[in-house]
Each structure stands twice: as C-alpha cells, then as structure tokens.
C-alpha cells in the first residue's frame, strides 16, 4: 500500500489505506469523468479535476483492490468509455465485434485496481550472464494447452508454465531462460475479429502494464507472479517480449481505446495522418515526453512488481526513431542506460521496422543485444547447399563482428537464431520448400517468401527413412551452427518437440493445434531432444569461457586460425570456392582458461573428407552431427568427416 493520500503526479490507480488516487494524462480533453463500476450496470460518475495542464485526478475513499473503473470523455459530442493506459489489470474477456462503437466501449474498457503485495518467499532472480544464457522462446498457451499431464485449470495458462512436468522438462532440456511471447493485454485486429480469429501471438498491445487475462484461471496478476517466482526458484530467467512501437488502436480508422482520445500527439503524424512505420497502422512517437514516460513506467513495473529479468523489444528501431531517421543516442536509449532499475536487466532489440532506414542491425547502444537475422539466413543457405557463402558463414560463426564489435562484448552480443515465432519451425525448415499459409485467410500471400528452406524430396511429412535421416542430420547441422557460434543462442521451445506448423510460417492468428505443442510427439522426438539437450549442456561448458576471452580489452590476446582440411592455412582468395574449412581457436596465456582450444570442422560438400588435426595432441569431440549419437570420442592426428556434417572438438586443457 502507498501513503494515505497519494500525490497526483504519478499516473494510474494507486491505492492507499483509505482509498485510491486516480490520475490520467489527457491533454486533448476539456473534461474527464471517472467511472466506478459496482455490481449494478450503471457506474458511479466522478468528475476529475485538472491539477495542471493536461493532468486529471480524483481521490476516492473506500476503493479497494479488485474494484473496476474506466474513464469517460466526449469526442465530437459523443461519449466514449476509454481504458486507463496505466491500468495494471483488466476485466476479461477482452473482445468486441467490429465496428467498434461508443456503446461497445462501455463493455470493453473495464480496468481493475491492483494491490501488488505478493510473497516472493525470498526467491531472487537467477542473474545469468549473457554468455551463459540460452533463450527458449515460448508461448504461454501453446506450451501446455495440449499437455496431458498438466491439470486442466492450468493448461494454456501462466500456472501451466510451472506444472511439475514442465519444471522437469526444463531441467531435462537444460533450459535456463524463457522468453515469453507478449503477455501484456492485447486485442485482435478488426479484420481478425471479423473472421472470428484472434491475434494468437499477442503483438497488438491494448494495455502495456496489464497481464493478459486469457492466460489466467482467476487472477492474472497473482498467477503470473507465482509462475515467475517458481521459474526463478528453478534457476530459470524470464524475458518478456514487449511491443511499444504501436498500439491496438491501429490506423486512422481503428478503434478509439485510450491514446487516440487522450493525447493524439503520442503518434507520429504526416499532415494529420498516422504514419505507419510498423505495418500495424500507427507508430508511437518516442520523442513525446508522455510516450517515453509511459514506456519507461511500464518496463519498471514489470521489473519491480513481477521481477522479470529482461525484455525483447518488437520492432525496436521505432524506439530510436526521429522521424525518418534512427538515432542510437535517442532519448529512450539514454533514459534506459541511466535508469537504476532498467539498466540492470537484459535488453534485446529486434533491430528493424518497416519504415525508411528501418534496418539497424548492429547499430543499437552497447548495452543492448540484438536479434541477428543474418546468421539465420546464412546458416540456412549454407546447409541446404548454396555455394560461395562459407566466408560469410565464418563471419557469423565468430559473432558477426562486422556488426557487433567484440570491443563491446559481452554486453552487445548477437542473438543467434534459426527460428523465431514469425517463420518456419525447425522441423518445417527441413520439411517444406514453400510456405503453406492458406489457413490464415490471406490467400497464402502473408509470411516470409524467402525461407531458405528445403524438403529433401517430399513436401511435408513423410515415412521415407532416407528423407527422414537427411532431415534429422540437417536439423543437427543447423542447431549446432547456432549453439556454438559466438553470441546468445535463441531457440524455439517448439523445436525441442520437433513441432510442425504444417508449413505455416506466419501462424499469428492460429490459436489451435497448428500452434499448440503436441506432447504426443515427445516419445518419437526423444532421440532428437536428447541430442539437443546434450549439446546445450556442452555449449554451456565450453562457450562462456571463449566468449569471455574474446570480449573487450582481452580479445586481442587470443588466436583464430582458418585452415583447409589438410591443415594448410586458407588464403584470402581461397574462400569463394571452399566447401570445407577448419577454424582453430585458442585462448591466450593471460586468461584463466589459458590454453583452451576449440576446433570447428565443417564439410558442406557431398563427399566425406579427411581432416588433419593440429599440434599433435589428443582432441575430444564436443559435437558431431553425422548421427544422433552423443558419445564423446578421443581423436588424434586425423579423422573422416561425413558429407554435409560438422564436428566440434576441444583439447584437454
């Protein structure tokens, strides 16, 4: 609880011992009415006072946690009920039937007063370093909706994340960080509502500070905190995917939910029309003081009240926009860097949007990590057989230092991924040559057109053992290339189960078994899952030390040598025609892991090749992709590497 009479300067609904202070920023309005919804359908109306220009407030005695409220404003003489942009809980279900009307607004815009008291039981955040972090992207509902051993009331909900079987699953698969697709309350776009579909992924934010009630059995606030506490208890971090580039109010014809009625200047304008740098109809103007304040207040709430460990920012180039230009020194980035709370958590950018100068990979401040689509595209292209790209792949393997200077490691690391929510799952990357998005209702025109995928003989599922064997080996090649690259690996939890979306590479509106994980696959995918979990464990034993050694001022004390399979050094003009390479890495003498070595051997040709090993030492296999066998072997002098496979070895230092 806060003090007796909270000051009006902090926005939102803030409880005291005797009541609640409601404060709202609404510079576009001449009057604002607070609506308190009791058991009756008719609300109590309280006229708010403007205590300074654009800031409205009312203190109401006897209000308690769980009470429901909204605001009412006049727009062109028509009364609208709007939500509090600072609402920290909402009354579900959150839905309407297009077109959105003033009458419907009185049913939709129902916010709840929240008391954030919660027993964290002295459980603290895990605080993994970036070099130790392996991110598993997870959808709250899709993870457990079909899990037979999760009790029914928890399936598809926050509490399903911490069901006993799920906690064992994380432990068995070496999961130490979960990145949740957006859990802030969202609304489906009008065209989806008209088709009786929903925005399953959650990338259409309605209220930034309120956990979505569709993932709760009863109380979203308490159930989400409980889930995060128990994940932390099991040494698992939680990163939230957040969307601050636009809101669910969409373009000029979109619904009036809050900001459009309260402060239209929070959006970018072009001759009084909303600018669409996001593909979602509107773009938040982070130069606007109220906008940047709202975003920072939202982030602080998730860290302080929910103990989250970091954020992945959707279309993050928007956050640094100054009109048509991107500025890595924009006010938002500076504000985050100096904030005593937010500067301590993980910050990950999706470093682009669809506006002018929107692609900004590697350009974010040095305290940010960034999702790296270049390693995705290069790795997929390499293993499906494209020529003349081994040199580019070598750059990606070594941390994409053309984009992410090792001088700023480990803070500014590439987030290396093959699959994300928007695209094929790993199983579909090796099973489909084309997208199959007809279920989305857009005549298969949506989603990525350039997937760098292959089907290896048959489009979709097959029982052909030869094709299955090739696909499994390619999955191992792809994943190993990311796991053992310098940077932060990002995987889909769905890929642990070899989940297929039936070739749909844009399943944003598929709230059904296309997106829900099929746990019946667990037994059949066990060899793959066992191989992958073993590789993650070995990655954790090897890569953090090498990332640390190659970071910052220490980076020049180590050696990287590129060789042909016969051991001879690769010359610059050799690269375009290579189909096999050896990368020999050694940590220098001034590091605590001095003498530790890694040997990456890649054979992307169609023939087995003999590889000579350097230094006349014994080497131990870390990763071999030819088969799913995880047994380690000791190798001396030379070995034969199968076609289309890789091997990673380490010395015994």
Least Cα distance to 185 among 278, 263, 302 occurs for 302
**Could you tell me the pLDDT band of residue 152, with boundaries at 50, 70 and 90?**
very high
185-223 tens-digit pLDDT: 999 999 999 999 999 999 999 999 999 999 999 999 999
3-state helix, strand, coil in the chain (%, to 5): 30, 25, 50
Which has the minimum average pLDDT: 248-262, 396-410, 445-459, 519-533?
519-533
Peptide bond into 410 cis (omega under 30): yes
Nearest-10 Cα torsion for 406, 410, 416, 421: -140
Separation between Cα atoms, residue 320 and residue 603, nearest integer Å: 41
Q: Tell me which DSSP letter residue 444 carries.
A: T
DSSP, collapsed to helix, strand or coil, labels residue 306 as helix
Strand partners, 583: 562, 600
How many Å from the N-terminal Cα to the C-terminal Cα in the chain?
Answer: 56
**Could you tell me the pLDDT band of residue 652, with boundaries at 50, 70 and 90?**
low
Q: Does residue 177 carry a pLDDT above 60?
A: yes
Q: For a pLDDT cut of 90, what percent of the chain falls above it? A: 90
Separation between Cα atoms, residue 149 and residue 165, nearest integer Å: 7
**Could you tell me the pLDDT band of residue 463, with boundaries at 50, 70 and 90?**
very high
Separation between Cα atoms, residue 455 and residue 427, nearest integer Å: 10
Peptide bond into 565 cis (omega under 30): no
The helix or strand, by DSSP H or E, that contains position 397, with its residue range, turns out to be helix 390-397
**DSSP letter string, 31-96:** --EEEEE-SSSSPEEEE-EEEETTEEEEEEET--TT-EEEEEEEETTEEEEE--TT-S-BPSP---
Q: Show the DSSP H helices in 447-567 as ranges.
A: 465-483, 493-496, 526-549
| Tokens coding 157 | 């909900």
Yes or no: say if 236 and 168 are a contact pair by the CB < 8 Å rule: no
| Tokens coding 493 | 């939890």
Q: Tell me which DSSP letter residue 100 carries.
A: P
Separation between Cα atoms, residue 193 and residue 244, nearest integer Å: 22
Separation between Cα atoms, residue 262 and residue 29, nearest integer Å: 6
Domains and CATH numbers, the chain: 12-112 (2.60.40.10), 134-545 (3.20.20.80), 555-650 (2.60.40.1180)
Least Cα distance to 198 among 246, 141, 143, 152 occurs for 141
**Could you tell me the pLDDT band of residue 5, with boundaries at 50, 70 and 90?**
low
Yes or no: say if 605 and 579 are a contact pair by the CB < 8 Å rule: yes
Strand partners, 109: none
Q: Is 241 a catalytic residue?
A: no
User: Phi, psi (5° rounding) for residue 639?
Assistant: -160, 165
Peptide bond into 579 cis (omega under 30): no
DSSP, collapsed to helix, strand or coil, labels residue 13 as strand
What average pLDDT does range 92-119 have in this prediction?
94
What average pLDDT does range 102-117 have in this prediction?
96
Separation between Cα atoms, residue 529 and residue 526, nearest integer Å: 5
Q: Is 402 a catalytic residue?
A: no
Helices vs strands, H then E, count in the chain: 14, 31
Nearest-10 Cα torsion for 461, 467, 471, 474: -160
Residue 629's contacts (CB-CB under 8 Å, 6 or more residues apart) are: none
Residue 552's contacts (CB-CB under 8 Å, 6 or more residues apart) are: 406, 407, 408, 409, 410
Q: What is the pLDDT of residue 2?
A: 44
DSSP, collapsed to helix, strand or coil, labels residue 365 as coil
Separation between Cα atoms, residue 83 and residue 12, nearest integer Å: 11
Nearest-10 Cα torsion for 258, 261, 266, 272: 140
Do the strands 205-211 and 184-186 form a parallel or antiparallel pair, or are they unpaired?
antiparallel
Alpha-carbon distance values, 17 to 1, 5, 7, 59, 89 (Å): 7, 8, 14, 12, 20
HSE, CB side, 13 Å, CA atoms: give it for residue 243. Answer: 24
Least Cα distance to 330 among 386, 288, 387 occurs for 288
- Whether this prediction's pTM lies above 0.85 is answered by yes
Alpha-carbon distance values, 304 to 117, 150, 311, 487 (Å): 11, 29, 13, 28
Separation between Cα atoms, residue 31 and residue 58, nearest integer Å: 12
Do the strands 55-61 and 19-25 form a parallel or antiparallel pair, or are they unpaired?
antiparallel
299-339 tens-digit pLDDT: 999 999 999 999 999 999 999 999 999 999 999 999 999 99
Strand partners, 414: 370
Least Cα distance to 131 among 540, 525, 441, 496 occurs for 540
Q: What is the mean pLDDT of the chain?
A: 95
The one catalytic residue in 350, 392, 428, 586 is 350
The one catalytic residue in 241, 314, 472, 511 is 314
The helix or strand, by DSSP H or E, that contains position 383, with its residue range, turns out to be helix 373-383
What average pLDDT does range 424-441 have in this prediction?
97
Yes or no: say if 330 and 322 are a contact pair by the CB < 8 Å rule: yes
518-547 tens-digit pLDDT: 999 888 889 999 999 999 999 999 999 999
Find the angle CA(516)-CA(521)-CA(522) to the nearest 5 degrees: 105
Q: Where are the beta strands (DSSP E) in 310-412?
A: 310-313, 321-322, 325-326, 346-349, 369-372
477-503 tens-digit pLDDT: 999 999 999 999 999 999 999 999 999
Separation between Cα atoms, residue 176 and residue 134, nearest integer Å: 6
Yes or no: say if 505 and 437 are a contact pair by the CB < 8 Å rule: yes
């Amino acid at each position: 609880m806060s003090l007796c009479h909270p000051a009006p300067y902090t926005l939102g609904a803030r409880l005291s011992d005797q009541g609640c202070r409601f404060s709202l920023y609404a510079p576009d309005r001449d009057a604002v009415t607070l609506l308190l919804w009791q058991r009756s359908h008719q609300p109590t109306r309280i006229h708010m006072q403007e205590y300074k220009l654009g800031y409205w407030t009312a203190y109401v005695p006897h209000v308690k946690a769980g009470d429901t409220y909204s605001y009412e404003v006049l727009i062109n003489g028509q009364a609208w009920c709007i939500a509090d942009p600072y609402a920290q809980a909402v009354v579900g279900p959150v839905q309407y039937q297009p077109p959105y009307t003033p009458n419907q607004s009185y049913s939709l815009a129902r916010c709840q007063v929240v008391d954030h008291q919660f027993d964290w039981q002295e459980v603290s955040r895990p605080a993994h370093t970036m070099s130790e972090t392996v991110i598993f992207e997870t959808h709250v509902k899709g993870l457990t909706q079909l899990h037979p051993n999760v009790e029914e009331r928890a399936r598809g909900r926050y509490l399903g994340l911490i069901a006993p079987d799920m906690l064992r699953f994380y432990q068995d698969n070496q999961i130490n960080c979960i990145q949740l697709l957006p859990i802030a309350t969202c609304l489906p776009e009008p065209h989806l509502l008209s088709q009786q579909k929903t925005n399953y992924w959650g990338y259409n934010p309605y209220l930034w500070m309120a956990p979505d009630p569709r993932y709760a059995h009863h109380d979203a606030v308490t159930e989400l905190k409980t889930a995060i506490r128990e994940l932390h208890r099991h040494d698992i971090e939680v990163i939230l995917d957040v969307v601050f580039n636009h809101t669910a109010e969409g373009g000029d014809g979109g619904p009036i939910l809050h900001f459009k009625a309260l402060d239209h200047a929070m959006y970018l304008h072009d001759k009084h029309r909303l600018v669409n740098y996001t593909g979602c109809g509107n773009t938040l103007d982070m130069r606007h003081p109220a906008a940047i304040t709202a975003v920072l207040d939202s982030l602080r709430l998730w860290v302080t009240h929910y103990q989250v460990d970091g954020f992945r920012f959707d279309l993050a180039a928007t956050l640094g926009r100054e009109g048509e230009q991107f500025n890595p020194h924009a006010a938002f980035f500076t504000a985050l860097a100096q904030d005593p709370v937010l500067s301590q958590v993980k910050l990950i950018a999706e470093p682009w949007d669809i506006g002018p100068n929107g692609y900004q990979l590697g350009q974010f401040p040095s305290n940010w990590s960034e999702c790296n689509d270049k390693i995705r595209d290069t790795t997929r292209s390499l293993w499906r057989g494209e020529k003349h790209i081994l040199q580019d792949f070598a750059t990606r393997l070594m941390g994409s230092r053309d984009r992410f200077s090792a001088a700023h490691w480990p803070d500014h690391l590439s987030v290396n991924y093959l699959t994300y929510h928007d695209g094929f799952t790993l199983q579909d990357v090796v099973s489909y040559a084309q997208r199959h998005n007809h279920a989305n209702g857009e005549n298969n025109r949506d989603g990525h057109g350039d997937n760098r995928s292959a089907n290896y003989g048959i489009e979709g599922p097959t029982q052909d053992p030869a094709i299955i064997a090739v696909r499994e080996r390619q999955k191992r090649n792809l994943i190993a290339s990311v796991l053992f690259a310098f940077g932060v690996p990002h995987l889909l939890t769905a890929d642990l189960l070899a989940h297929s979306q039936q070739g749909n590479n844009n399943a944003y509106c598929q709230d059904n078994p296309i997106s829900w994980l099929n746990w019946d696959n667990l037994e059949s995918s066990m060899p793959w899952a066992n191989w992958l979990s073993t590789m993650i464990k070995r990655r954790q034993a090897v890569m953090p030390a090498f990332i640390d050694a190659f970071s910052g001022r220490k980076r020049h004390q180590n050696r990287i040598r590129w060789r042909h399979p016969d051991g001879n050094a690769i010359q610059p003009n050799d690269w375009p025609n290579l189909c096999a390479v050896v990368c020999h890495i050694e940590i220098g003498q001034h590091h605590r892991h001095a003498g530790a070595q890694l040997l990456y051997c890649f054979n992307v040709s169609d023939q087995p090749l003999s590889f000579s090993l350097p230094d006349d030492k014994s080497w131990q296999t870390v990763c071999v992709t030819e088969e799913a066998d995880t047994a380690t072997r000791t190798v001396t002098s030379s070995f034969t590497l199968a076609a289309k496979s890789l091997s990673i070895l380490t010395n015994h230092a």
